Amino acid sequence: MDWKIGLIFLGLGVLLHLPTAQWALHWDSFSWIGIELLLWGLAPIALVCAGARNFNPSARGESHRATISSIYPCLLIAFASLLWGIYSGTAGWSLRGISIAVSCFLVLLLNSTNQRLYQMVALGMLAPVSTWTFAHQIHWVGQKLATALAGSVLDLGKVYHFYKGNVIGLVSTDFLENQQCSGVRLFGTSLLLVLTLGFLSGYSWFRMVYLTIVALFWIVVWNAMRIAYCVWIQDGQSTLIQHNFVLYDVVCLLGILFFTWSADQFYSALTYKEKDSDRESEKQDAALAGSTLGNVSTRPTSNASLLGIVLSGVAIAGIVGLGGWQLYRWFGLTNGGSRTLSSEQVDQILDGLEFKTSLKDGWVISRTQGAAEGFAPIFRPLARWPHEQWELTNERLKGSTMKLRVDGLWTDAIAPQWLWQWYGWKTGASTLPESTGPNQDAVAFGMSRSIVEEGYVITKRLYLPDPSDSRSRYVQVSLVQESVRPIADPQQSLQRDMFPALYDEIQGGFNASHSTGQAGIEAP
Partner 1 sequence: MLRFLAELPVLIIAWLSDALEIALRFLGRIFRFGDQEESEQSTGFSGRIRRAIGQCFWFLARLITYPFAGFFFRGRRFWMFLGSIPFFVAWLGIFGLLLAVVLNHERILNRYLSRAQNAYTKQLGALGARYALRWIDEQDYANADRKFLYSLVEIQAGQNDAGERVLEQLSPEDSAGLGIAHFWRAGKCAAELAAESIDGPARQEALKRFRWHLSHASGVRPAQIAVLEAMDAYWDGKPEQAQSKYREVWQADPLQSVGYASLLKRLGNQQESVQVLQEGAQRVASVLRTDPWNRTIRYQLASILEAKEDWGKAEQIFMEGYQIHRDAEASVAYRNFLDRRTSAGLKDANAFREQAYCLVRLLRTQGATPSTLDVASRTFLRSDLEVAGLQRELNQWLVEGLDLPIVHLCLAVCKVIVNEVDSGVWHVEQATRYDSSIQNLVVPICDHLILRAAENRPLQKRLDDWKLALEEKSQKQIVP
Can you give the binding site for partner 1, defined by CB under 8 A? 149, 152-153, 155-156, 158, 160-163, 169, 171, 214, 221, 258-259, 261-263, 265-266, 268-270, 272, 277, 450-452, 483-485
Q: Which is nearer to partner 1, 274 or 489 (CB)?
A: 274
- 94, with CB counted inside 10 A (0-12, 13-18, 19+), is buried
Least separation in angstroms between residue 269's CB and partner 1 is 4
Backbone φ, ψ for residue 78 (5° rounding): -60, -45
Q: Are 326 and 17 in contact (CB under 8 A)?
A: yes
Least separation in angstroms between residue 419's CB and partner 1 is 20
Long-range contacts of 147-156 (CB under 8 A, 24+ apart): 147/181, 147/224, 147/227, 148/224, 149/220, 149/221, 149/224, 149/228, 150/223, 150/224, 150/225, 150/227, 150/228, 150/231, 153/224, 153/225, 153/228, 154/228, 154/231, 154/232
Q: Which is nearer to partner 1, 214 or 333 (CB)?
A: 214
The three state secondary structure string of 276-326 is: HHHHHHHHHHHHHHCCCCCCCCCCCCCHHHHHHHHHHHHHHHHHHHHHHHH
Q: Which is nearer to partner 1, 261 or 463 (CB)?
A: 261
Least separation in angstroms between residue 377's CB and partner 1 is 23
Q: How many angstroms separate the CA atoms of 517 and 285, rounded?
A: 70
Calculated CA dihedral for residues 461, 463, 464, 465, nearest 10 degrees: -140
Q: Which is nearer to partner 1, 454 or 504 (CB)?
A: 454
Least separation in angstroms between residue 401's CB and partner 1 is 12
Q: Which is nearer to partner 1, 163 or 203 (CB)?
A: 163
Q: Which is nearer to partner 1, 171 or 310 (CB)?
A: 171
Least separation in angstroms between residue 263's CB and partner 1 is 4
Which residues on neighbouring strands pair with residue 176, listed in sequence order?
Answer: 169
Grouping H, G, I as helix, E, B as strand and the rest as coil, residue 463 is strand
Q: Which is nearer to partner 1, 156 or 246 (CB)?
A: 156
Q: How many residues does the chain have?
A: 524
Q: Which is nearer to partner 1, 201 or 297 (CB)?
A: 201
Least separation in angstroms between residue 219's CB and partner 1 is 13
- E strands, 121-205, are 161-164, 167-170, 175-177
Q: Which is nearer to partner 1, 161 or 329 (CB)?
A: 161
Q: How far apart are the first and last CA of the chain?
A: 36
Q: Which is nearer to partner 1, 127 or 257 (CB)?
A: 257
Least separation in angstroms between residue 347's CB and partner 1 is 32
Q: Are 48 and 106 in contact (CB under 8 A)?
A: yes
Give the number of C-alpha atoms closer than 13 A to the C-alpha of residue 30, restricted to the C-beta side. 24
Identity at 379, one-letter amino acid code: F
Residues in contact with 81: Cβ distance below 8 Å, sequence separation at least 6, in sequence order: 93, 94, 96, 97, 100, 125
Least separation in angstroms between residue 293's CB and partner 1 is 31
Q: Are 296 and 60 in contact (CB under 8 A)?
A: no
Q: Which is nearer to partner 1, 174 or 489 (CB)?
A: 174
Grouping H, G, I as helix, E, B as strand and the rest as coil, residue 251 is helix
Least separation in angstroms between residue 226's CB and partner 1 is 15
Q: Which is nearer to partner 1, 158 or 396 (CB)?
A: 158
Least separation in angstroms between residue 141's CB and partner 1 is 17
Which residues on neighbouring strands pair with residue 443, listed in sequence order?
Answer: 459
What 8-state DSSP symbol labels residue 435?
A: S
